[in-house]
Amino acid sequence: MRDDEAADGEGYYKFRSGDLLDGRYKVVGAAGRGVFSTVLRVRDTVSGNRELVVKVIRNNEVMRKAGEQELEFLKQIKQQDPEGKKNCVIVESHFDHAGHLCLVFEPMDRNLREVVKKLGGIGLSIHAVRKFAKQLFTALRHLKKLKILHGDIKPDNILVNEDMTGVKICDFGSAGFLDKCEITPYLVSRFYRPPEIMLGMVYDELVDMWSLGCVLYELYTGKILFPGKDNNDMLKLIMQLKGPFPSKKLKRAEFVDKHFDKELKFRLKSIDPLSKKVSFLFVLRKSYA
């Protein structure tokens, strides 16, 4: 099969059960699909049919570049933690197949989004949440030591093993080095996005800590902490819980005019359902001084 025939119109690998990747990894089935890739369950025919997963990056220039960048972060993580004791996924190997960059990982049972969904909104026990929290804080401490920002901590990117005793952070496709953080209003998935990202402020590893806090709340309650429709709505929900932002911080925010007037009063965005016209309402009338 030619490289251009191995992918669909969006660049995703068109796999079939029984496909042999890199001459050794036999495809058993799909394990998931995301923006960047397709994840396949495989058997390693060279090492006793050991079960593994292969992340097959979409075959286009943008995704390829993102995949190569993710691989560099994974290599650094593995170099400093070859045995995987710091609760970040460890890449076992990588190769190219039909124009797709492929990353090989140990298998985990499922992600925490699937766990919460299976529980039907009840949430985990406080014992389980504490156990997972300790492991995830260890992972964030390890990433900070490497000066790496994950940039997309959420239940989907935290994997749990079969007996629900261990978790690992995965998917470093949005990661970056702490000394090269670029201001953008859309880093981190929306429900787990900290206010400094939405406001356009200088940020650091505490971005990941905020996201993890939102995740832990969700694990315990089964509910999303800040279910905002967009950044404006997210800021409203955060202020309703935590109070208004200090004016000193708002004055240093690059995107402050998208959400606040010149007197630093919050403007809540409203969209007419028929005309789709956007208007703003002043809310949270407490002074920001």
Tens of pLDDT, residues 169-206? 999 999 999 999 999 999 999 999 999 999 999 999 99
Say if residues 27 and 16 touch (Cβ distance below 8 Å): yes
* In the chain, domain spans: 3-105, 110-227, 246-289
Say if residue 281's pLDDT is above 90.
no
Q: Is 168 exposed, middle or buried (0-12, 13-18, 19+ CB in 10 A)?
A: buried
| Sequence-ordered list of residues with C-beta below 8 angstroms from that of 83, at least 6 positions apart, any chain | none
Say if residues 178 and 205 touch (Cβ distance below 8 Å): yes
Q: Is 186 exposed, middle or buried (0-12, 13-18, 19+ CB in 10 A)?
A: exposed
Which pLDDT value is given to residue 288? 36
Strands 25-33, 158-160: parallel, antiparallel or unpaired by DSSP? unpaired
Helical ranges in 12-111 per DSSP H: 61-80
The fold of the 110-227 domain, in CATH, is Transferase(Phosphotransferase); domain 1 (1.10.510)
| Distance separating alpha carbons of residues 113 and 199, to the nearest angstrom | 27
- Dihedral, CA atoms, 14, 16, 19, 21, nearest 10 degrees? 30
Angle (nearest 5°) at CA 109 between 106 and 114: 135
Q: Which of 19, 96, 109, 152 is catalytic?
A: 152
pTM: 0.90
Clarify whether 152 is annotated catalytic: yes
Where does residue 59 fall: left (phi above 0), alpha (psi -120 to 50 degrees), or beta otherwise?
Answer: beta
What's the distance, Cα to Cα, between the start and end of the chain in Å?
65
Question: pLDDT band at residue 284, thresholds of 50, 70 and 90?
Answer: low
Alpha carbons within 13 angstroms on the beta-carbon side of residue 173 total 18
Which pLDDT value is given to residue 5? 65
Alpha-carbon distances, residue 278 vs 198, 259, 261 (angstroms)? 19, 13, 16
Segment 110-144, tens digit of pLDDT: 999 999 999 888 899 999 999 999 999 999 999 99
The fold of the 3-105 domain, in CATH, is Phosphorylase Kinase; domain 1 (3.30.200)
